[in-house]
Structure 1
Amino acid sequence: MPHRPAILFDLGGVLIDWDPRHLYRQVYGVEETEFFLANVCTPAWNLALDGGRPFAEAIREKQASWPDYREAIDWWWSRWEDMLNGPIPGTVEILEELKDLGLPLFALTNWSAETFPLARKHYPFLDWFQEIVVSGREGVVKPDPAIFRLAALRCGIPMEGSVFIDDSRANVDAAAALGFDAIRFTGAGALRRELEARGCLSAGGRAS
């Protein structure tokens, strides 16, 4: 009988391949795309969107600062779905196995409240979660401890001993400091081994 802790998944980078490079490299190639993402639409700027900043306001301000990239900045909203590249190979299969075993499944994601509905229609497996806590709806982002506490409360799970899976080292460290059994996601095969070691999956289950 598998161990039955609650399991809290990150989405982007764990289950969903979201990366603005999927869009911008179609237009700019590698070098200019990397310049654009390092200097114009930066990770910090996107994190503010994940924290609840309205797209219209953020884009308008950024276009004023970078008029030569006005159209490209607009794509962050108008072509946002082109940043999606399907599920992360193997991880959805693991999620399905956990679901079939009846383990309690939840998600905690840094994601804009405006774009999350656009993503949701592409990924039916998101319906397998009992609850999804979206940072843009809450106004706070990982790795702030407040969002982990909120997620535990919203999902009705203990932080101590619940499994948390994320590809970000900072998020994993923050969760671990609060008592989560935190796993840094590096690929489906490694995740399967981590879950087997915890008794959440049977060794020798479905191939990943």
Structure 2
Amino acid sequence: MTQAPIKAVVFDIGNVLVEWHPEAHYDRKFGEERRREIFANVDLHAMNDRVDRGGDLEELAARLAEDHPEYREEILTWHADWLTMCAPPIPHSWRLLRALRAKGIPVFSLTNFGKGTYRTAAAEYEVLNEFDQDYISGHMEVIKPDPRIYEMLEEGSGLSGASLIFTDDRADNIAAAAARGWRTHLFEGPEGWAARLVAEGLLTEEEAA
């Protein structure tokens, strides 16, 4: 049986369009040994998940710093240096997104991102303002890989199953989409994603370069 044609391409953002490596920033700023100690004793990623579910980063960081005064500076760094951690951009991925849109292929975001941090990122990286539809977890108050976030995209777009192709750098997020019948691509670099878009007939090799 022939698969349905692809009607929209869905992009994750962190480590797909813009790099996101908090540990690397903490290593540079505080040293790897201190970073390992901080991350072992303070769950900064859990704090970030709360931001991605709609919480305010500055408020959550301040509260966590009160709970762990011995790591106050390091915890507050997550807010103060957030944009430095959300960098640099991945230019080839930007070109792919724009090439798809130039051909009239709808492009959606599906991203674990806070409301305030997304505004900050979109002011810095203009490509984040170019999606045809945005599905941002902070506004949706649910994060990947919860099946509900994928369901909400289906409800909002009117598309489902193999009419969607989704790329993300996390295998658990990809598996959740695949379970709904979406076509998926585990992002390990823009070259592989480009090749997949060519293989699916969405872009030519020249357009995907």
**Same fold per TM (> 0.5)?**
yes
Q: How many residues align?
A: 205
Contact kept, 8 Å, 2:6 with 2:163, in 1: the verdict is: no
The residue number in structure 1 matching 2:145 is 143
Q: Give the Cα–Cα distance (whole angstroms) in 1 for the partners of residues 75 and 153 of structure 2.
A: 32
Aligned runs of 1:83-122 on 2, under 5 Å? 83-122=85-124
Tell me how large the CA RMSD over aligned residues is.
1.9
Task: Report how far residue 35 of structure 1 moved.
Answer: 3.1
Q: CA deviation at 1:44?
A: 2.5
- Tell me if 1:74 matches 2:76: yes
Return the match for 1:17 from 7, 16, 19. Answer: 19
**How many percent of aligned residue pairs carry the same amino acid?**
33
Which has a greater percent of helix? 2
TM-score under structure 1 normalisation? 0.89
**For each residue in 1:134-159, what CA deviation from the matched residue of structure 2 results, as whole angstroms up to 9, or x when unmatched?**
10111100000100111122233223
CA contact (8 A) 1:112 1:135 kept: yes
Equivalent residue runs for 1:145-164 within 5 Å:
145-164=147-166
Q: 1:96 to 1:56 in 2, by over 3 A?
A: closer
Please identify runs of 4+ aligned residues in structure 1 that moved more than 4 A.
none
The range that moved more, 66-75 or 108-117, is 66-75
Using the TM superposition, give the Cα deviation of residue 165 of structure 1 relative to its aligned residue in structure 2, in angstroms: 0.8
Q: 2:140 & 2:62 partners in 1: Cα distance?
A: 23
Instruction: Tell me the residue number matched to 1:7.
Output: 9
Query: Which stretch of the first structure deviates more once superposed, 133-142 or 43-52?
Result: 43-52
Structure-1 separation of matches of 2:41 and 2:199: 42
* Distance in 1 between residues matched to 2:87 and 2:58, nearest whole Å: 24
In 2: Cα distance, 1:151 partner to 1:52 partner: 17
> 1:189 is paired with a residue of what secondary structure?
helix
Equivalent residue letter for 2:10: L
